[in-house]
Structure 1
Amino acid sequence: MVRWSVVLFDSAKALAFKNVPTREEVKEAIFRTLTRNGMFDNSHIRLSLTRGKKVSSGMSPAFNLYGCTLIVLPEWKPPVYDNAHGITMVTATTRRNSPNNLDSKIHHNNLLNNILAKIEGNNANADDAIMLDKDGFVSETNATNIFLVKKGRVLTPHADYCLPGITRATVMDLVVKEGLVLVERRISLSEFHTADEVFTTGTMGELSPAVEIDGREVGDGRVGPVTRKLQNAYKKLAEESGVPIPSYQKK
């Protein structure tokens, strides 16, 4: 609960939202929604926070006089990627947003860059598309954060041109707990082409190994041992942790 709340409330503050629900109100809304729908396992929750009802169609936030509005959208969580055998990726020509234009650390629904990159991936029959920053360094994929493994070290790009994802942060903690070396720095595309292992992280896909990038095999083209180790550690953490859902009486 702590990490999603940081992303939600920090983004709302950066966007100058007013009358934002409290953390307890958001938790209450989530619990009620899950309980009413009988969704206690294998489900994914998407939270959307709008400025609320407007009195005019103008762009000024001053016209949003009745808000905020919180939307809790739960869905059954189907497999998104083949996490057992791995996924393929290509590099998109569409660049990730720069903080000079629109800070990617703000979680918002303006995802046209990512959608355009995903279209490139679809056209290449790839599962995901790698996105570069304005200087040509790897940022993330169109929908996930990205890591590589080289000589036993786990590397991930700085979150300067990407969203610092919840799953990303969890996996970074696990890397350290598992006794592995974690490095966060700028990473060039060629380093991903020559990596021993590559994997992505995201709420829906969790840890997804990449076995091919731009037509090049990653390592030996199979899921690597470090990725497997972190997948198992993540699965164990998910099974052992969480927030109990209170019982609600139907009125």
Structure 2
Amino acid sequence: MTHGTHNAVEDPRNKDIQIFINGTLYPRDQAKISVFDSGYLVGDGVWEAFRVHQGKMIFIDKHLDRLWQSAKVVGINIPFNREELLQNIQTTLDANEMKNHIHVRIMLTRGIKKTPSQDPRLTISGPNLVIIAEHKTASLETKQKGITLFTSTFRRGSPDYLDPRLNCHSKLHEVQALMQALEAGADEALMLDIHGFVSTCNATNFFMVKNGEVWTSTGQYCMNGITRGNVIELCEDNNIICIQKNFSLFDVYGADEAFVTGSFGGLTPVIKIDGKTIGTGSPGVLTERISKLYQDLIEKEIQQ
């Protein structure tokens, strides 16, 4: 069984879900997109993923802000407004009778190409919008057991050629990093920046704890994580020292605790990195405290 931050409890209802494609809902086995789609041909698209609990789209404003920013960065003109997108998401949720423990992924590509090419001038349609909502409950076992990381030789890139904050469809770089980690027997990959400092993971953001302080990267070379930002704010609001700084594997190997963050799994403890046990090899006290604060934040978001 796959073990990692995206480990979900198996749910048979996902076999019969309806998927939204450009205004129409299709059964899962009939939901298809053209082989001439820009996202398929050259990874030319942007995406977002968020949770739905008790009928509430969690931190949706922050996710939509990031989606619109990403589309602007790559020059995709979104042909609908935020309210229209929210209605399409709600239509998808309603069609699937979904209210709780739902994971939604929005994918927006530049559109259909006239011929296989990276040239955006050969796009002959408007952007393609796909909304996939699934019943997904994060594995409790993963949170209790924690995950292991392996430091990949693939670095997080510089903002001047592919800004790591961009949620784009081009994820091959991260897949290569994850493949290295899996081949090394770890669950996921830790990635360094171009200077050799710890940056982020292949699909989540990384935090470590040392002497009661929480450390995370400067943010210059890591994913623009919504959960990462929420955790930093939670620490500041609850008198937990959280420092965004450069630090190396020398510091990580001597950490008292470590955890990663993501929209699906929230906070997931890290118990081993590159074969070296972190702290006691079990979820740490501060990790558990921040995780509880994050769950309280979600409950507050639901009530708003």
CA distance in 2, matches of 1:10, 1:19: 11
Kindly report which structure 2 residues correspond to 1:186-201, keeping only aligned pairs within 5 A, or say none. Answer: 186-201=246-261
Aligned residue in 2 for 1:74: 133
| CA distance, structure 1, for counterparts of residue 78 and residue 148 of structure 2 | 43
**Percent identity over the alignment?**
36
SS in 2 for 1:126: coil
**CA distance, structure 2, for counterparts of residue 13 and residue 128 of structure 1:** 30
Q: Match of 1:219, SS?
A: coil
Aligned residue runs from structure 1 range 80-159, under 5 A: 82-159=142-219
Q: Give 1:160's match in structure 2, choosing from 201, 217, 220.
A: 220
The runs of 4+ residues in structure 1 deviating greater than 6 Å are none
The 10-residue stretch of structure 1 (43-52 or 77-86) with the greater mean CA deviation from structure 2 = 77-86
* Counterpart code for 1:27: L
| 1:226 CA drift (Å) | 0.7
Equivalence for 2:75: 16
Question: Superposition RMSD on alpha carbons, in Å?
Answer: 1.7
TM-score, with normalisation over the residues of structure 2? 0.76
Q: Determine the C-alpha separation between the residues in 1 that align with 2:197 and 2:244.
A: 13
Letter aligned with residue 178 of structure 1: N
Matched, 1:216 2:295: no
Question: 2:37 aligns to what?
Answer: none
| Residues paired across the two proteins, number | 244
Are the aligned partners of 2:217 and 2:244 in contact in 1 as well (CA < 8 Å)? yes
Q: Kindly state the Cα deviation for residue 83 of structure 1 after the two structures are TM-superposed.
A: 0.9
**1:62-99, CA deviations, whole angstroms, 9 ceiling, x for partnerless residues?**
22242222211111214357111211111111112222
Distance 1:70 1:33, change over 3 A: same
The residue aligned with 1:59 is 118
Aligned to 1:247: none
Q: With structure 1 as the length reference, what TM-score do the two structures score?
A: 0.92
CA distance in 2, matches of 1:221, 1:12: 41
C-alpha separation in 2, matches of 1:240 and 1:182: 22
Q: 1:45 aligns with which of 104, 117, 131?
A: 104
Local SS of the residue matching 1:33: helix
Is the Cα contact below 8 Å between 2:152 and 2:190 reproduced in 1? yes
2:292 & 2:79 partners in 1: Cα distance? 37
> Which blocks of at least 5 consecutive residues in structure 1 are unaligned?
245-251
Q: What whole-Å deviation, never above 9, does each CA across 1:116-138 have from its counterpart, x for those lacking one?
A: 11111111221111011111111
- Return the offset for 1:243: 8.2
Q: Which residue of 2 aligns with 1:26?
A: 85
